[in-house]
C-alpha cells in the first residue's frame, strides 16, 4: 500500500513531517506494508509554475497509490485559494471521493459523533456564473445541484457504516422549507434508505435549529448525514465543541474504489505558521482514520491511546492548554507509543503485539 503525502502550505507543511515517524513506527511494528512518498503540491508550486494538481496526477494516484495524506492548503498570497480549489476539488471530484467522514467528540459529553458530509455536489458543484456590468458584479449565481444517484450512494454508505458501528440514531440535516427541491430529494432518499437499516432510528432537522440544539446539548446525536455545505459548517461547530480546530480530522473516500483522502479539518493557519506551535494532534488523528480505513485497527488504537496520554502532558501545544510545541508534542506521542508497543509485545506470550 503506497500513500501519497501532500504536506501543502502553512502549518500543513509543519505538522505532516512530524507525524510521519509515528506511521513509520506502526508500519514497522505491525508489519503493515505501507510506504509513503511526498509530493510538493501547494502554494509555492502554484506561484512559481501555475500548477495546482499536476497533469496526470489523478491517473498516477489511481494506478499506484491507495490513499492521500494531506496537510493543509491556503496562502495569503493567493487570496481566492485558486490553488486549493484546483488541488482539493480536483482530488475530490476526480477520484469521486463523495463521502466525507468527520468524527468529533464534544468535550461536554465525551461521546463521539459521526458526521458524514456529501463531498462532491450541492453548492460546491461549480455550476453558476457572474454577470459583470461596468466592471462590477451585477449578478452572481451558484447553483445547488444534486443527482439522485449520488445522494443514494452517499446515504447508503453512511447508514451502513453507522449501522456496522452499532449506532442507533441518525439525523438528516436539511433546509427543505427554504431550499425545497434538493431538500425534498434528500428527505425522500433518506427515508427510503433508512428502511434497509432497521437498527437505525432516523430523525430530520432543519440545519438552523439543528445547530442550535447541537451547541446546547450534543448528547442526543450519534450519526449525522448532511449535504455538502451544511456538513462543512457543522464540522467546524463540531471542532469548536471538541476544543479547537487543531483536534479534528476527516476522511474523504470513494466506497467503490476504496481510495481515500485523509486530512485535518483545519486550514493552513497563516497566523501561527512558522511559530512551531501548531497542534499536530488533528493530523495524527487523520493517520488513525487512514489506518482504520486500510484495515489496521490495532495500529490505529495504539496511536489513539498514545495521543490520549500525550494530551494530558505538559508537552501539549498551547491550544490544548500545554506549554509545548509541534515537535515536543509529537516527541511525547512517540515516547508513549514506544511504551505502549513494548507493553503490548510483553503482554502477548510468544511475541507479537496486541495493539
Ligand atoms: P485557511 O485559509 O488555510 O483555511 P484559516 O486561518 O482561514 O486558514 P484555519 O487554518 O482553519 O483557517 O485556522 C483558523 C484558526 O484556528 C487559526 O487562526 C489558528 O489560530 C487556529 N488553528 C487552526 N489549526 C490549528 C492547529 N493545528 N493548531 C493550533 N491552532 C490552530
CA gap 58, 327 in Å, rounded: 32
CATH 3.40.718.10 fits 102-246, yes or no: yes
Ligand 1 midpoint to CA 150 (Å): 31
Q: Choose the weakest-confidence range: 53-57, 263-267, 332-336, 345-349.
A: 345-349
* Contacts of 214-221 spanning 24+ positions with Cβ under 8 A: 214/238, 214/241, 215/241, 217/108, 218/106, 218/108, 218/109, 218/111, 218/113, 219/108, 219/109, 219/111, 220/169, 221/113, 221/169, 221/171
Kindly report the protein residue whose alpha carbon is nearest to atom 31 of ligand 1. 246
Classify 86 in phi/psi space as left (phi over 0), alpha (psi -120 to 50) or beta: alpha
| Residue scoring higher pLDDT (245 or 307) | 307
| Report field, pTM of the whole predicted structure over 0.75 | yes
What is the best residue among 269, 271, 274 to mutate for testing ligand 1's pocket, by most ligand atoms within 8 Å of CB?
A: 269
Is the CB of 74 within 6 Å of ligand 1? yes
Q: Is it the case that residue 352 has pLDDT exceeding 60?
A: no
The confidence band for 244, taking pLDDT boundaries of 50, 70 and 90, is confident
Model pLDDT for residues 142-157, shown as the tens digit of each residue:
999 999 999 999 999 9
Is the CB of 235 within 6 Å of ligand 1? no
Q: Is it the case that residue 124 has pLDDT exceeding 80?
A: yes
The confidence band for 297, taking pLDDT boundaries of 50, 70 and 90, is very high
Fold held by 1-97+254-355: Isopropylmalate Dehydrogenase (3.40.718)
Model pLDDT for residues 4-55, shown as the tens digit of each residue:
999 999 999 999 999 999 999 999 999 999 999 999 999 999 999 999 999 9
CA gap 68, 47 in Å, rounded: 23
1-97+254-355 and 102-246, same CATH topology: yes
Is the CB of 70 within 6 Å of ligand 1? no
Cell 471530484 sits at which residue?
93
Q: Is it the case that residue 238 has pLDDT exceeding 70?
A: yes
> How is residue 36 written as a grid cell?
509513503
- What local confidence, expressed as pLDDT, does residue 345 receive? 55
CA gap 138, 136 in Å, rounded: 6
Domain ranges of the chain: 1-97+254-355, 102-246
Amino acid at each position: 500500500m503506497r500513500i501519497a503525502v501532500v504536506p501543502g502550505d502553512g502549518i500543513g507543511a509543519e505538522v505532516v513531517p512530524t507525524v510521519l515517524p509515528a506511521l513509520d513506527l506502526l508500519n514497522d511494528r505491525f508489519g503493515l506494508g505501507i510506504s509513503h512518498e511526498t509530493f510538493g503540491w501547494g502554494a509555492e508550486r502554484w506561484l512559481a509554475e501555475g500548477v495546482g494538481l499536476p497533469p496526470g496526477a489523478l491517473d498516477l494516484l489511481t494506478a499506484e497509490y491507495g490513499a492521500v495524506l494531506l496537510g493543509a492548503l491556503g496562502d495569503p498570497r493567493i487570496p481566492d485559494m485558486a490553488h486549493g480549489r484546483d488541488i482539493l476539488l480536483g482530488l475530490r471530484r476526480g477520484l469521486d471521493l463523495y463521502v466525507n467522514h468527520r468524527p468529533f467528540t464534544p468535550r461536554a459529553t465525551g461521546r463521539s459523533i459521526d458526521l458524514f458530509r456529501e463531498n462532491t455536489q450541492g453548492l460546491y458543484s461549480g455550476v453558476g456564473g457572474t454577470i459583470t456590468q461596468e466592471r462590477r458584479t451585477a449578478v452572481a449565481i451558484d447553483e445547488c445541484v444534486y443527482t439522485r444517484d449520488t445522494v443514494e450512494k452517499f446515504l447508503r454508505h453512511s447508514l451502513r457504516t453507522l449501522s456496522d458501528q452499532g449506532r442507533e440514531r441518525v439525523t438528516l440535516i436539511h433546509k427543505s422549507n427554504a431550499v425545497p427541491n434538493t431538500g425534498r430529494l434528500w428527505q425522500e432518499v433518506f427515508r427510503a434508505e433508512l428502511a434497509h437499516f432497521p437498527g437505525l432510528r432516523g430523525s430530520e432537522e432543519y440545519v438552523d435549529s439543528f445547530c442550535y440544539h447541537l451547541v446546547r446539548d450534543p448528547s442526543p446525536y450519534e450519526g449525522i448525514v448532511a449535504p455538502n455545505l451544511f456538513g462543512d459548517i457543522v464540522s467546524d461547530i463540531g471542532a469548536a465543541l471538541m476544543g479547537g480546530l487543531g483536534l479534528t480530522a476527516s476522511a474523504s473516500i470513494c466506497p467503490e474504489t476504496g481510495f481515500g483522502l485523509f486530512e485535518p479539518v483545519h486550514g493552513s493557519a497563516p497566523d501561527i505558521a512558522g511559530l512551531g506551535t501548531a497542534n499536530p494532534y488533528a493530523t495524527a488523528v487523520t493517520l488513525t482514520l487512514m489506518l482504520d480505513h486500510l484495515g489496521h485497527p490495532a495500529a490505529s488504537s495504539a496511536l489513539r491511546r498514545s495521543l490520549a496520554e500525550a494530551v494530558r502532558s505538559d508537552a501539549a501545544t498551547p491550544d490544548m492548554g500545554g506549554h509545548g510545541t509541534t515537535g515536543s508534542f509529537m516527541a511525547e506521542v512517540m515516547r508513549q507509543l514506544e511504551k505502549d508497543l513494548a507493553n503490548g509485545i510483553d503482554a502477548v506470550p510468544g511475541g507479537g503485539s496486541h495493539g
